[in-house]
Chains A and B, each alone.
Chain A
Amino acid sequence: MEIGATQVVSGGFFIVAAVFALALVALLLWSFGSTRQRRRGRDGLAVLDSAPQHLCNMGPIRRSQDPSDFDYAMERGGKELGKRLRRERRNVALLYLESLRSDFDQLLRIARVVALLSPEVSSSHEYERLRLSILFRVRFQLVKLRFLFGNAAMPELTSLGQMVTSLAIRMETAMATLGERAALAADLALQSDQ
């Protein structure tokens, strides 16, 4: 080694190499730990049985956000009652926002399972979904902060929930159709084997 060691590497290269190696170790241990701790998801398409279910909450959520209730409470019950009602409304909205996020996550999981079990995937679709999921998470946090510290218009939140639900309904319909086709394909394969 002494023969080849006529000069040492630059400090910059050393720092970059060290940081790169440590970053890879951190990523390795993080993904290793996540893989071990994650509950085993259901195999194959069984994950579709747990599609988003929050539609049943939409009506009560919408009714709870009616501004006339708040005005009435302030008028009849005083400022304290109005404040309490506002606080509780905000907590309900935040819970609903969380349910939207869990529904979004569930839809993403389903999309991942579909991609995983597909004999062919499109890089552009996968990249698009990754990009959208990152954007959603960032924007979700911003909206959540808005609810916490400001006033967000409830109709937008309601329409957001409707969109997540309609996606779930369409996906269930599509999977039912494709399930029939998969069964037909399996029958055809069985016949050809015989």
Chain B
Amino acid sequence: MLGSVPRLELYLWAITTLIALILFFLIFVRRLDREFPFLTAYLGVNLVQTVAQLFVYQFYGFDSEVTYASVWASQAVVIVARCLATGEFCYRVLGHYRGIWAMAIRILLSCAAVVLGLSLYFGRDGFQFGVMTLEMASEAFIATLVVGTFLFVRHYDAMLERSALLLGLGLGLNSCLKILNDAVLSRYYRSYARVWNDVGMVTFSGVLVLWILAMRAVQTVRVLQPELQPLEVYRSLAPQMNRRLAELNQRLIRLWKLEQPKS
């Protein structure tokens, strides 16, 4: 059965699997599996899916219902594993800042849930079994979490390790490019079906290389965590700052209207 697969696709599949194996072993060689348990689990699930797909394609072919159901069911497991890896990334970046993390995770999950819901709702008229819509919605959920985390880092000027930066970049790009790839396939199935898988594998290979760089960049020496200040610092300063910032805004309005200041 696998002999009927175009050579390019087979080579891409082999290269992607090889890179994934290199990353998987790198994590264990550097003993990073405890630091990145969910990422490690995701890579493991991905590799298991590859092996399972080989058997399914070999014994059932590409067009059977068994193949369709098993491949997409395994893809659901892979996506759940990647969601957990994304959560691990978000916590690794913002978790040190307890106050910001408590606020950010609520905002990020709310936004991501809204994006997921809207994607499912507006994509409901798509494919008969909705697998592509489900995948796009899931990827939109993950991408929203990743981009939202980066925006929080930028807004608060939080410290960001190079390894986390590359890990997040890989997660975000992977999801965004998957959405684009799936959207094009959903719209132009007949002409795009032949290259959809190839594009997906090339993209994923690039992401795996980013993650290899990320794992190599993980600091072996423990970086000092930020020292949190007493709660009263924030509680006393934040309202004062906001009040003054509001007054500054009022002054700008008066400056604009050229009214006399109220002293």
Contacts and interface: CB of A to CB of B under 8 A. Distances in A.
B186 A14 contact: yes
Interface of A: 1-14, 16-18, 20-22, 24-25, 27-28, 31-32, 34-36, 38, 41, 43-45, 104, 107-123, 125-126, 128-130, 132-133, 135-136, 139-140, 142-143, 146, 152-153, 155-157, 159-160, 163-164, 166-167, 170-171, 174-175, 178, 181-182, 185
The 9 closest A-B pairs by CB, nearest first: A118-B234, A121-B99, A139-B252, A31-B150, A21-B179, A17-B183, A132-B245, A167-B244, A4-B129
Interface residues of B, number: 90
A142 to B, nearest CB: 5
Nearest to A177: B236
Contact of A43 (B226, B238, B246): B226
Contacts of A152: 255, 258
Given A7-B125, A116-B97, A174 B63 contact: no
Given A115-B238, A125-B238, A157-B255, A104 B232 contact: no
A107 B248 CA distance: 12
A19 to B, nearest CB: 10
Contact of B261 (A28, A143, A156): A156
Contacts, number: 268
A170 to B, nearest CB: 7
B136 interface: yes
A54 to B, nearest CB: 14
A163 B114 CA distance: 40
A123 B103 contact: yes
A5 B189 contact: yes
B229 interface: yes
